[in-house]
Structure 1
């Protein structure tokens, strides 16, 4: 490629030199022709001058016949001068012929030079065309090189950014690894504490069962005493009317909650001691990992508040429950554990119920984290069932006694 460039350069130089030589030769030939024309004009002018003098001499001879000798002498002198001029003219004509021959030779050489120059010009034009093509290719390659350099700069910037991101990611990974170690240690400690609490819980459960039996007996005795002070018919009618209102309210709430959650399980139930339990699945009240209640959740709690109007004498306990998965790192600054999340959800629900007009002294909020699961967690569906809010309605005043044949709902 470099050798072809040198050959093109040498060829261009030769063409330029040949063109310069042709121009110089053409200018020299023009100068010689100009000199020949000038000499020819001078000779013709001399002939004209001599002829004019001859005419004048003849006139003088005719006018001055008396001066014949003198005029003859002058004529002889003029004739001699004319002869000399004729000789000079013949010499000049000979020179002119020689110059004309030289001009012909020069014109032949000029024609040859012009033909060579034309050929060289064609070659030069072809070479110039090739040079233009090579320059265009060079410009395209320079543009491509510029684009590649720009792309390289962008890639260098992207690489630097990626390296910085990799460093940050590694640092975050190290932090998460440390947090994971700490979380595992805390989990092991919590498991040990849970084992101890489970042992204690079994004892408490036995004691609670005994207390529940005593509670039912006391409630029955109290209701019996109150019933004795009223007529039996009035007590039964009031009981049936109240239970009917409660049953209708809970049936309506059950239907509405199942339509919202698409759950097949029973969301409203009644325990043997008369406590009503209402389960609100997480997805119809809260977003995942959040205690904020949006518009859909507020509408759900409004339905609950409407149903609670049929339970004016009940204590309302709102209890938050989560699954067993730990809080994600991005939420740990707000909810370090599931205890904080479950308690925050219960408190948020209480605030919404208060805003609907329910008296604050009738309500309480409690968080149980993942300590009271409904089912064993084996997959996403079972974990979803354990994420919930439970609303428990405890009778606050024992002014009636439920007969044994009332159906639970």
Structure 2
């Protein structure tokens, strides 16, 4: 029995060794496969890491480029907006041009219609046009004739204007001569009047006027000529009547009588008769004119004027100054 068990045991062992060898080979094969796979996996991982680093650098570069691209995008966007505005403006111009073209086409169509209408004119209308053209030609001839007449009239007017200027020069010369003659007559009148009145301090020549102080002719606050004043005015009237024959008849002369008052306001008693100094000076000049007319001087040769206290000869309110400013002035002049 022991032998049989030993033989069986010996028969089992080789099979066990074979199985174990086979298992070991399988394990060795698996380990080899694992090592090889690990090697290739390591190589692959290293390659992936390198690729990852490269991709990371690429991503960073792309990020920088993207930042620049955004600036460029904004600039391009502005250009696009500007181009859109330009396109809108061009479209508006194009629309306006289309409208203008339509208007022009309408005008051309209208002109074409008018042309067709003209071509379709009847013989009667053509005759009327010919008549109108003839009338127009006649009107043009009349216009030319009127133009000639106008030019002739202008030439005549220039000749008349030259004559007028010549007559004006002659008239001015004649007037200057008459003024000179009147000045000479005035000088003789003043000389004769001075001789007739004698040398008096209260009667004097101022410029082209003979000046009488009012106290010679009137009392205080009175427009009635005194007896002494009447004597002096008689002398003046005689001189004027004697001298008037020496004045050329062409000169329309007058003796202007100007009344002046002093600057003193009228007192209560005087205000009962005269409103103010202007009325007093006016009444006095009128009294002188009426007296000279009664003495034989033609009324048409006498003119009365009044200036109140507006034109004093001297300044001051003393008695002598006031007496000089109260005056009657006589001026031989033209009307």
TM-score range, shorter chain: 0.3 to 0.5
TM-score (norm 2): 0.43
Structure label with greater radius of gyration: 2
In the superposition, the TM-score normalised over structure 1's length comes to: 0.35
